[in-house]
Structures are given as structure tokens and as C-alpha cells.
Copies of this chain bind each other. A is one copy, B any other.
Amino acid sequence: MMNPLIRKLERFTRLSDADKRLLQEAASARIVNYDTHQDIIAEGEEPTDVNLILAGWVCRYKHLADGGRQIMSFLLPGDLCDLNIFLLRRMDHALGTLTPVTVAKISRDLLQEMLNTDPRLTRALWWEVLVTAAIHREWLVNIGRRSALERVAHLLCELHVRQRAVGRVRDGRCELPVTQVELSDALGLSAVHVNRTLRDLRLAGLIDWRDKHLAVPDFEALAAVALFDPDYLHLDHEGERFDAAC
């Protein structure tokens, strides 16, 4: 199995064969499977491993007092969950599966060793952390300031682009194995309104979402509705300027 993390990190920086071997080993040591709607780690727990998603979709979320929840990230194959375990003792949010999921557990100690010995890999992994924060910021804009139509379209654009970045889009078609309720929990909208908004996008011919797959016939058109600008994903091989330094 080609490690999807390697593919993604190579967008950012070139990795040596040794880097890749190290990552590949780390990602093979301890594989764990989860069913749909399970917590990989709950809010308040003390994490012991970093979770690398090999297959399936995961979300970060928090529960609210009134029973609602807010999803703060969608994590796809190749995404790394808790690089913060080195510094923050307790999880201030939970990680839950949206589909059946396979993760590789990378222990603190192993990761620490990788970070100590491999500066290029260190940079690549911190790039992950910073891009995650950049996505959080764009979500703030999305939820705070955009209309429901723009909001839904924007999230669909993001998920489409992120999947394209790791080779998971064919003919404008990618996975979208989440429910409308889950989308609404991510967007700060009601499920009913998400449903109506999706209908509007469908009627406008902008999306075709069926069988857990999203087809976007004209990405530019959808991006225009969403006011989507992919800069915040920092996907354009920015790290290559570091190669000289390594």
C-alpha cells in the first residue's frame, strides 16, 4: 500500500528515500481498524499516539451542552491527527470516524525520534500542522461571513481540491462519504437548510452527489459561487525553496 501521507508531503518538500522508508515503517507498525461512528479518541483523553489515516474519513468535533455538535475538520486518508500530543496534555476535542477507518498508530517515542533525526521530515510534519490551522481560519470565514449557498459550495470545493491533491479525483468525481447532518454540523447550519441548499446547487447543475460520491462537472463555476480561493490550502509546492538548505 502506497502511503498517502508520503504523497501529500511530497507536495510540500522532496523527501529522500531514507525519509520515505522511515515514514513507511512508522506507518506499518501498528494498524488499527474502526467502525463507522466510533471515537478514535475522546475529548479530555490523553493521547499516546499520533494517528495517521490510511483509509476512511475522520472528523474533529466537539459536543455542546445542548446536544448539538460542531465538526471542526474533515480528515482524509494521508492526514495526520494529533501532532499536538507532544505539547498539549489533554484533547480539547474528539476524533470520530465517519466511515470505517484504518489508521496507523505512531507512538510518541518513535515520532520523537524521527523528529530528532530528520530535519526535513520535521519541517514537512509541521507544515501539516500549519496547514490545518490555515484551514481552520478559512472555516471561520466560511461560517462567520458567507451565506448558506456559498458555505456549502465552499466546503465542497475544499474537499474536492484536497482530494485532487492526493490523486483521489477522477473525471471531476471524488468520494464524499458523509451525511447531510454531518455537513450541517461542520457548516453551522441546520440539516434541513443544508438539504435545501444542496438541492439548489443540484438544480443549478453545479454538483451531482449520489452514492457517497460527488461529481463537479464545472469546478470553476462551483468555485465562483463559493468565492473559493485555494491559496489557504498551501498546496503549491511551497517547500521546495527549502531544498537548497537541506
Contact = CB atoms under 8 A, between A and B. Distances in A.
Interface of A: 60, 62, 64-65, 68-70, 72, 84, 86-90, 92-93, 123, 126-127, 129-134, 136-141, 143-146, 187-188, 227, 231-232, 234, 238-239, 241
Given A88-B238, A92-B231, 18 more contacts: A60-B137, A68-B145, A70-B140, A70-B141, A87-B126, A87-B127, A87-B130, A87-B238, A88-B130, A88-B134, A89-B234, A90-B238, A92-B138, A92-B234, A129-B133, A132-B133, A136-B136, A143-B188
Given A130-B84, A145-B188, A89 B241 contact: yes
Contact of A130 (B65, B129, B145): B129
Contacts of A134: 88, 92
Contact of A137 (B86, B92, B141): B92
A34 B77 CA distance: 44
Given A64-B145, A65-B227, A70-B145, A89 B238 contact: yes
Nearest to A130: B84
8 contacts: A69-B145, A88-B127, A89-B238, A92-B134, A133-B136, A143-B143, A144-B188, A145-B188
Contacts of A86: 123, 126
Given A123-B86, A123-B87, A129-B130, A140 B145 contact: no
Contacts of A187: 144
A93 B130 contact: no
Contacts of A239: 87
Contacts of A60: 137
A197 to B, nearest CB: 15
A87 B130 CA distance: 8
